[in-house]
Amino acid sequence: MRSINVTPLPLIQMYLRQIRFALIAALVSSFLVAWSDALFAQGGPASVVVAAVMEEEVASQQAFVANVKPWRESTIGSAVDGRVLEYLVNAGDAVSEGQPLAQLRTATIGIEIAGAEAELALREAELAELKNGSRVEEIALAEALRDVAKANNEYAKAKLERAKRLFNEASGISVDEFESDQAAALVAAATMAQTESSYRLVVEGPRQEQIDQAAARVEMQVQKIASLNDRRNKYTLRSPYSGFVSRELTEAGAWVSQGNPVAQIIEIDPVEIEVYVPEGSIRFVHPGDDVIVSVEAVPDQTFAGTIDQIVPLADPLARTFPVRVRVANPAVESRHPLMPGMLARVTLPTSERQTRLLVPKDAIQLGGSTPTLYRVVDGKATLTPVITGPSRGSWVAVHSQVPGQLNPGDLVVTRGNERLRPGQAVVITNKQDAAPQ
């Protein structure tokens, strides 16, 4: 005999209560929706801030990891041998261009310079003596000697004439006496010629060639002193530019040989940001381009940089090219915000520049499956799905998913778009005029 299952009455009553509760919930939900729509309709137009769609040339960009490096870094070495008399700086000290870093002992070279200066004084006195010529007394003495020689010559000539006459007349003068008078006359004539030449030399003074030789000796001594002074200057080691002492490499009392390092100096205003760019993007990077640099150690601040150099040699393993960016780094309250060794990020282009539509980032809504924005058309909010592209500062490139829906000059809502509904009336309270940076 077949058995028949009969549903108990309490279970049927439970099902009926569930159906009743579901119907009541549906009615309440419909009422609430209608009530909210009525309230929404009673609220009137929404107040919004808008901005006009811009058309600009932009390129895709990417932030690359980089390192902050000194603009210049120099190891200061000694140009001479010597003992360190004073070490004048410490690591971390700020130094200016030409500031002494260390002083070597200079007593020995000081003695050499003093001797060379004394010899220069001697050479200059010799030159002055030649330029001044003969003194009056020297000329007078030469003139007197010339007159004496002239008188002796006249006497010798007269005596020779008498001897010649007597010798020719055979008046008792021997041959020896005649020849003696003849020789005396020749000596007197030669003496007179000598004293005449001496007189002319004294009157005319030194030859120009002698003066030139003395002047050359003076100049040689001047250059010798200059060489010694230049060598003495090398005993004071100075900073080649303004910067900071990064390392101390010797100390007072130490002996340094020529070429030994003494200190390390770095320049950090400006700084160099070294970034390695992949080979696929290097063709979009050009010297002179302006870039944006951010540093994790300095949050909420960006720095403007300029591409200074592109090294045309890639790392054979990473296939990246070193790019050097120059960034101004002035001190703020006696401190420079960027310091070598910091981790940085440089935003560089990764595509060619193209003409694109730009809207403020605040206009984009990302809550749905695709980005959207509201356009203001005939005083009403029109929802427009878009596709985003590269950004420029606070603006982002977009194009509408439906061709022709978004055009330059269209007004898009940037504030007050959170609670807008498609087709809702809007009142524009302000319009952004800032252009993308």
Q: 29-47: per-residue pLDDT in tens?
A: 444 444 444 444 445 789 9
In whole angstroms, what is the distance from residue 179 CA to residue 161 CA? 12
Token couple for 12: 């049927």
- Tens-place pLDDT, residues 329-383: 999 988 999 999 999 999 999 888 888 999 999 999 987 788 999 999 999 999 9
Q: Is the pLDDT confidence value at 14 over 80?
A: no
- Measured N-to-C along each axis, helices 107-132 and 208-233 cross at an angle, to the nearest 10 degrees, of 160
Q: Confidence band (pLDDT; 50, 70, 90) for 262?
A: very high
Q: What is the mean pLDDT of residues 236-252?
A: 96
pLDDT of the residue at 223: 96
Q: How far is CA 141 from CA 105, 137, 146, 199, 211, in A?
A: 55, 6, 9, 9, 23
Name residues whose C-beta falls within 8 Å of residue 105's C-beta, 6 or more positions apart in sequence.
82, 83, 85, 235
- Whether the full predicted model's pTM is greater than 0.85, yes or no, is no
Q: How far is CA 30 from CA 26, 33, 34, 315, 361, in A?
A: 6, 5, 6, 68, 37
Cis check: omega of the bond before 270, within 30 degrees of 0: yes
Token couple for 371: 């980005």
Q: Confidence band (pLDDT; 50, 70, 90) for 116?
A: very high
Q: Are 320 and 279 in contact (CB under 8 A)?
A: yes
In whole angstroms, what is the distance from residue 55 CA to residue 356 CA? 6
Q: Confidence band (pLDDT; 50, 70, 90) for 4?
A: very low
In whole angstroms, what is the distance from residue 375 CA to residue 406 CA? 8
pLDDT of the residue at 17: 64
Max mean pLDDT range (43-52, 54-63, 301-310)? 301-310
Coil, helix or strand for 178?
A: helix
Q: Are 250 and 84 in contact (CB under 8 A)?
A: yes
Of 196-200, 242-246, 382-386, least confident by mean pLDDT is 196-200
Q: Are 60 and 388 in contact (CB under 8 A)?
A: no
Q: Confidence band (pLDDT; 50, 70, 90) for 171?
A: low
Percent above pLDDT 90 for the chain: 58
In whole angstroms, what is the distance from residue 332 CA to residue 7 CA? 87
State which H helix or E strand residue 222 sits in.
helix 208-233
